[in-house]
């Protein structure tokens, strides 16, 4: 996979329009002889929505896993909010991940929790200083993120 499709802008996004949020440069990832990402390049700006399309096995999940640091690329840069993800220590990676919303394709939600509790879960985990009310307000979209 070598490219992605950019679509419409999201007015709700708090990132300044035009500021790069994700910059991917010359990304390569292979598993033995299976070359999955071959010189993949993409810049995503604030207030921009991007859809990555591709047939099954094209490398969409591998790409996302590289962006959030679950997989280490063979080479290339993945700057997220200015930090090169492959270079980050586990602690710094945690900090970057706390700014990223990510949903796995399968088993996406904890089925023992309600949808609301699933949305509250990362807020409680990463922002332990938030009160119960603040968590509920954020989930309800009543206070700025």
Tell me how far, at minimum, the Cβ of 34 lies from ligand ADP, in Å: 5
Q: CA–CA separation, 128 vs 49, rounded Å? A: 29
Does residue 28 touch ligand ADP according to CB under 6 A? no
Tell me how far, at minimum, the Cβ of 58 lies from Mg ion, in Å: 8
Nearer to Mg ion, 61 or 137 (CB): 61
Tell me how far, at minimum, the Cβ of 59 lies from Mg ion, in Å: 8
The torsion angles phi and psi of 115, rounded to 5 degrees, stand at -60, -40
Does residue 31 touch ligand ADP according to CB under 6 A? yes
The full 3-state SS of 9-23, as one line of letters, equals ECCCCCCCECCEEEE
Q: Give the up-direction half-sphere exposure of residue 77: CA atoms within 13 A in the CB hemisphere.
A: 12
127 beta partners: none
Does residue 10 touch ligand ADP according to CB under 6 A? no
List 41, 43, 61, 118, residue binding Mg ion (CB under 5 A):
61
Contact yes or no for 68/102 (Cβ under 8 A)? yes
Considering only residues 67 to 126 of the shown chain, the ones binding ligand ADP according to CB under 6 A are none
Question: Contact positions toward ligand ADP, by CB under 6 A?
Answer: 31, 34, 36, 54, 56-62
């Amino acid at each position: 996979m070598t490219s992605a499709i950019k679509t419409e802008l999201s007015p709700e996004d708090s990132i300044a329009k035009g500021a790069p949020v994700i910059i991917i440069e010359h990304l390569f990832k292979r598993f033995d002889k299976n070359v999955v990402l071959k010189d993949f390049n993409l810049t995503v700006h604030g207030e921009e929505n991007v859809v990555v399309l591709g047939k099954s096995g094209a490398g969409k999940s591998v790409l996302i896993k590289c962006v959030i640091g679950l997989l280490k690329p063979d080479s290339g840069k993945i700057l997220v909010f200015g930090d090169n993800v492959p270079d980050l220590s586990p602690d710094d990676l945690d900090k970057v991940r706390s700014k990223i919303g990510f949903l796995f394709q399968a088993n996406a939600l904890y089925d023992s929790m309600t949808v609301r509790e699933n949305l509250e879960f990362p807020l409680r985990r990463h922002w332990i200083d938030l009160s119960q009310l603040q968590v509920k307000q954020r989930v309800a979209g009543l206070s700025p993120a």
